[in-house]
Structure 1
Amino acid sequence: MKLPNSAHTSRPWLIHKIAPDFHLYDVWALPTPGGPDDFHKLVRQTSGGDTSTSPSWAARMLFEIRWKLGKVFGWDEKKTGVGRRVSTLRDRLPAELRDGPYGPEFPRLPFNSVYLTENDWASEMANRTVHAVMHLSWVEDGKGGYRGQMAVLVKPNGIFGKAYMAAISPFRHLIVYPPLMKDFERTWQAELAREKKSAA
């Protein structure tokens, strides 16, 4: 479920301090109900994600087209990424967090962890179009439990980056995010089922 921006901005996340020059594009409540200590499950699940396994054929095709366009036009070359075109947000971390650990690696997605605390985690990626942050947090759901929350923050790369973000906006909201939420739920429930089976 899409949330108002205030669901993210009203909370004291570290990302506010290290990425004030990024624009908040989306905030989503994730269908991942759990207890106060389950955030690590969400982090592990997300870092192991893969666009090629989306339950939506349309979303898989859209990502495939994007990766092909990136290859043709050089949008995703190493020289356009974090540490090359843009500095990593790790450089902005307070001293006590700068030496890590930053969080898990992403074996199949073009993200790098920036920092990980008990209840929030930020990862970043950059290419010729944008420098983007995926922020996940673990919040009370108002019903005595907890759930995940995802925020997407973006710093477009000039006029081209702004035009790119405007062009893909309807695709993100109509094709990418709905199946992504279903995938979060499907993977989360499968994890709960495995835990229940192993505990039996």
Structure 2
Amino acid sequence: MRLPRTAHTSRPWRIHEIAGDFRLEDVWALPTPGGPDDLGRLVRQFAEPDRAHVSKPVPRLLFAVRWKIGALLGWDKPGAGVGSRVPTLRDRLPADLRDGERGPDLSDVPFTSVYLTQDEWVTETANRTVHGVMHISWVPDGAGGHRGQMAVLVRPNGRLGAAYMAAIKPFRYAAVYPALIRAIGRKWEAGSASGTGSGADSGPDSGSGSDKGSGPGERAA
């Protein structure tokens, strides 16, 4: 379910002090009911290889078209990414976050982890069009439990980036996000049914694949 911007902006997230020049694009409630310490489980789920969200024909076609256009126009060349066209957000971190857990990079998409706390996980990506941030948080659900929340922040690269974001907006809401949210919920439910990854062992230090202070281009072991 899509949420109002205040669902993100009203909370005291550390990302506010780090990415103040980024635009909040979307906020989504994730169908991941759990206990107060289950962010680590959600982080591990995101980091695992899984293409389920692009298994349907329309999202799969959209992703294929996007990568084909990107290849033709050079949007995704190595020199356009984090650490090349734009500096990593890790350069902006205060000492406590920089020295803390970084979290795992994503396997299926070019997102590298910035930091991980008990209730926030931040990853970033960049190309010729945008510098993007995915903010995954763990919040009370209003019914005595907790769930995940996803916010997307972007910093478009000039007119090209602004035009790109405007062009993909209807496709994101019609196909990409719905497929992604459903896939997240299905995988979470399957993990809950099998009894994997919940409870006290789900915090940042519980095998989420994170390294302390590792660089943005290094994949956490």
Normalising to structure 1: TM-score of the pair?
Answer: 0.94
Partner deviation per Cα, 1:21-72 (whole Å, 9 max, x = no partner): 0000000000000011111111111122544653422111111111111111
| Closer/same/farther in 2, CA of residues 50 and 62 from structure 1, 3 Å limit | farther
Q: CA 1:189–1:174 in 2, change beyond 3 Å: closer, same or farther?
A: same
Corresponding position of 2:203:
none
Match of 2:23 in 1: 23
Pair 1:142 & 2:142 matched? yes
2:3 and 2:123 mapped to 1: Cα distance? 20
2: CA distance, partners of 1:192 / 1:50: 17
**CA distance change for structure 1 residues 67 and 50 in 2, over 3 Å: closer, same or farther?**
farther
Q: Judge conservation of contact 1:51–1:63 (CA < 8 Å) in 2.
A: no
CA RMSD of aligned residues (A): 1.3
Higher relative contact order (CA 8 A, sep 6+): 2
Q: How many residues are paired up?
A: 196
Equivalence for 1:133: 133
Where 1:27 maps in the other structure, the secondary structure is: strand
Q: Which runs of 5+ in 2 are unaligned?
A: 197-221
- The answer to whether the 8 A contact 2:53-2:180 is kept is no
Structure 1 CA distance for aligned equivalents of residues 143 and 53 of structure 2? 32
1:26-65 map, 5 Å:
26-51=26-51, 53-65=53-65
Alignment of 1:122 with 2:122, yes or no, is yes
Would you tell me which structure has more helix in proportion to its own residues?
1
Q: Which residue of 1 aligns with 2:159?
A: 159
Work out the CA distance in 2 between the residues paired with 1:154 and 1:49.
24
Instruction: Mark the CA change 1:54 to 1:135 in structure 2 (over 3 Å): closer, same or farther.
Output: same
SS at match of 2:195: helix
Q: Percent identity?
A: 60
Looking at structure 1, the residues matched to 55 and 144 of structure 2 have their Cα atoms a distance apart, in angstroms, of 30
Aligned partners of 2:52 and 2:183 also within 8 Å: no
Can you give the 5+ residue segments of structure 1 that lack an aligned partner in the other structure?
A: none
Residue deviations 1:125-182 (CA, integer Å, cap 9, x gap): 0000000000000000000000000000000000110000000000000010111111
Counterparts of 1:159 and 1:50, CA distance in 2? 33
- 2:142 counterpart letter in structure 1: G
On the 8 A contact 2:105/2:123 being kept in 1, the answer is no
* SS of residue in 2 equivalent to 1:166: helix
Aligned partners of 1:46, 1:60: CA distance in 2, in Å? 19
Residue pair 1:55, 1:183 contacting (<8 A) in 2 also: no
Instruction: Supply the AA of the counterpart residue of 2:168.
Output: I
Map Cα deviations across residues 80-139 of structure 1 (whole Å, 9 max, x no partner): 000000000001000122134310122221100000000111000000000000000000
Judging changes above 3 Å, is the alpha-carbon distance between structure 1 residues 34 and 52 closer, same or farther for their aligned structure 2 residues?
closer
SS of residue paired to 1:115:
strand
Find runs of 4+ consecutive structure 1 residues off by over 3 angstroms.
Answer: 49-53
Q: 1:33 to 1:3 in 2, by over 3 A?
A: same
